[in-house]
Structure 1
Amino acid sequence: MATKTTENKNLVFIAKSFAAGGIAGMVSKSAVAPLDRVKILLQAHNPHHETNGVLRALRHVVQKESVLALYKGNGAQMVRMFPYAATQFTSFEMYKKKLGEFFGPTSHIDKFIAGAGAGVTAVTLTYPLDTIRARLAFQISGEHIYTGIVHAATTIFKEEGGIRALYRGFTPTLMGMVPYAGTSFYMFEYLKFGCMKYLPQFTCNPCQKNTGGLVLTVPAKLLCGGFAGALAQSISYPMEVTRRRMQLALMNPETSHYAHSMFSTLARVYRDHGIVKGLYRGMSINYLRATPMMAISFSTYELVKQVLNLDTGIQIKTGS
């Protein structure tokens, strides 16, 4: 009976974590969808935006297409984002719990490994939807190749090599995901711990369940999440550019040489455009989108956890 009760509690925990993660992902991605689309246009050197910067690209999209065009591809993003974020946050909680038992309560390395593992798990399950979303977002009004999510998926599958085509760019994604997800989860947990230990009077509230534990205030959640996201993006960004170039390579015959392998694409981007205008192209807009996105994502997840009674607060000895 005790075993069955424990199993039921675990299932409820997983279901609530899954819902909290999915909601957090959808809210955060929708908030930065316009910047996301412009980032893709700049990353992959769309011919209409070859000389544009961030603000100019935003104005160009609105003037030449429409305001709604800023959200092009966001439908596919939402289809992908709920299972992606839900899987990532749930996996993180599960991996963190198991690794915490192995490394002990004073270690922080378990947070990095759990975050990296969660990111790899989520991206493996949802990567084809990211490819489809990138293709839809890269299109310019009046020059459409795909009419929607299903048409894009079937066209890529039939004409570009089956399931392998939907996973084009997957290797650099994995290589970028380990430092990105590992760093973002690690830094958020580390900063959260630091705020509770050293600045509880400014950054924390008592848990509403009266457990004696502390929870971060919303501004503190936003600051911790934003800083964690900005740092993680700085480390992993070249791999994201490589992934985008591979995903979008076959939409234009002139860029088909980017479809071969991760290393050849990485080298080609560097040779053709250098570091600033190649491997880190679109980085300025990425900071503008990644920082608030991660801030909103972590904050929403923590808030929904509290609403669903998953977060009972952390009891910690404050002070130095």
Structure 2
Amino acid sequence: MTSLQSENSQNFLLICKNLGAGGVAGMVSKTTVAPLDRVKILLQAYSRHHASHGVFKGLRHIVKREGPLALYKGNGAQMVRIFPYAATQFTSFEIYKKYLDGIFGERSHVDKFIAGAAAGLTAVTLTYPLDTIRARLAFQISGEHVYTGIVHTATSIFKDEGGIRALYRGFTPTLMGMVPYAGLSFYCFEYLKYGCIKYLPGLTCRPSKQNTGGMVLTVPAKLLCGGFAGAVAQSFSYPLDVTRRRMQLAMMNPDTHHFAQGMVKTLKHIYEEHGIVRGLYRGMSINYMRAVPMVAMSFSTYELCKQIAGLDTGLKV
């Protein structure tokens, strides 16, 4: 085997390990917050069964009306989507970060924001139809099912609502929201990780097991950094997340068809009908409750998987 072939083989193995670590991280984080995810979707899109509910009342209502397993309705489709999504996002981030490293200066973290935003755009473009399918399944109430599963949902949307464009309904606000969300998530986590290792190594770090002289964050530090990153990112991108959901679910009820007319019109309709707090930021409290632990678990699991796979050699500052 030539040196070039050996290098290519090694790079391929590294990419596969990154894909696996990212996919596992996504599945763990999303399953952790699946019940809150379902309530958020029902609140965002004003399900008639949950129009007056808050977070805890909504959770109790689901369990009482549909049973405990209903809290995970749509999670199967979520797992089908999240593995390739998270695998692509984390691996893309590592690749983009490598090529952007040092462009904005050694002490700048702008490259992390750009790499994170680009990674988010890459991942969501590849997996968006699965997000639409998952939202439709999670929005259904037991006894009022329109769809029977992932394949039936996909074929029904494709045949009855306009083909591939229907599966990508709400894609524009998703792309626009992904830039601040993914960019800020990765930027904040990497910035906080750097700060912990540089200024608080005794409290937040331990030596890398790879014996490179670098430091890695402890699990509690990973969770704290990831949770803060998730809170910051969600605060900026949430109205576009609401817009995406309303567009994805617009065709499930004749009264909400006007939310399928495009991003700007949907934003306008939400604002005119419900305002900012009860419209564009509806469900924000539950979103903090789910986003903070979700992002914390995602980054923490990914970092742990990288260390187990021998990918994280530790950071030197």
TM-score band, normalised by shorter chain:
over 0.9
Deviation string 1:211-251 (CA, Å, 9 cap, x unpaired) is: 11100000000000000001000000000000000000000
Corresponding residue of 1:194 = 195
Say whether residues 1:128 and 2:140 are aligned partners.
no
Say whether residues 1:292 and 2:306 are aligned partners.
no
Corresponding residue of 1:95 = 96
Report how many residues are paired.
316
Corresponding residue of 1:31 = 32
Letter matched to residue 254 of structure 1:
D
Query: What is the SS of the residue equivalent to 2:249?
Result: helix
Return the alpha-carbon distance in structure 2 between the equivalents of residues 50 and 104 of structure 1. Answer: 50
Query: What is the SS of the residue equivalent to 1:215?
Result: strand
Corresponding residue of 2:219 = 218
1:130-145 mapped onto 2 (5 Å cutoff): 130-145=131-146
Corresponding residue of 1:245 = 246
1:26–1:38 Cα change, 3 Å: same
Deviation string 1:4-28 (CA, Å, 9 cap, x unpaired) is: 2222221111111000000000000
Any unmatched runs of 5+ in structure 1? none
Return the alpha-carbon distance in structure 2 between the equivalents of residues 26 and 135 of structure 1. Answer: 19
Residue 152 of structure 1: how far off its partner (Å): 0.3
Letter matched to residue 121 of structure 1:
T
Return the alpha-carbon distance in structure 1 between the equivalents of residues 301 and 38 of structure 2. Answer: 22
Corresponding residue of 2:154 = 153
Corresponding residue of 2:79 = 78
Residue 3 of structure 1: how far off its partner (Å): 2.4
Return the alpha-carbon distance in structure 2 between the equivalents of residues 193 and 254 of structure 1. Answer: 50
Return the alpha-carbon distance in structure 2 between the equivalents of residues 264 and 315 of structure 1. Answer: 49
Letter matched to residue 57 of structure 1:
G
Corresponding residue of 1:66 = 67
Deviation string 1:183-202 (CA, Å, 9 cap, x unpaired) is: 00000000000000000000
Corresponding residue of 2:9 = 8
Say whether residues 1:310 and 2:296 are aligned partners.
no
Residue 101 of structure 1: how far off its partner (Å): 4.7
Return the alpha-carbon distance in structure 1 between the equivalents of residues 31 and 184 of structure 2. Answer: 23
Return the alpha-carbon distance in structure 1 between the equivalents of residues 202 and 249 of structure 2. Answer: 49
Deviation string 1:39-69 (CA, Å, 9 cap, x unpaired) is: 0000000000000000000000000111000
Say whether residues 1:47 and 2:48 are aligned partners.
yes
Deviation string 1:159-182 (CA, Å, 9 cap, x unpaired) is: 000000000000000000000000
Residue 252 of structure 1: how far off its partner (Å): 0.2
Q: CA RMSD in A?
A: 0.7
Letter matched to residue 194 of structure 1:
G
Corresponding residue of 1:179 = 180
Say whether residues 1:259 and 2:264 are aligned partners.
no
Return the alpha-carbon distance in structure 1 between the equivalents of residues 236 and 106 of structure 2. Answer: 27
Letter matched to residue 100 of structure 2:
L
Letter matched to residue 166 of structure 1:
L
Return the alpha-carbon distance in structure 2 between the equivalents of residues 175 and 247 of structure 1. Answer: 15
Q: TM-score, normalised by structure 1?
A: 0.98
Letter matched to residue 62 of structure 1:
V
Identify which range, 48-57 or 1-10, moves more after superposition.
1-10
Query: What is the SS of the residue equivalent to 1:120?
Result: helix
Return the alpha-carbon distance in structure 2 between the equivalents of residues 43 and 245 of structure 1. Answer: 7
Q: TM-score, normalised by structure 2?
A: 0.99
Residue 102 of structure 1: how far off its partner (Å): 3.0
Any unmatched runs of 5+ in structure 2? none
Return the alpha-carbon distance in structure 2 between the equivalents of residues 224 and 170 of structure 1. Answer: 29
Corresponding residue of 1:105 = 106
Return the alpha-carbon distance in structure 2 between the equivalents of residues 225 and 168 of structure 1. Answer: 30
Letter matched to residue 219 of structure 1:
P
Residue 210 of structure 1: how far off its partner (Å): 1.5
Letter matched to residue 111 of structure 1:
K
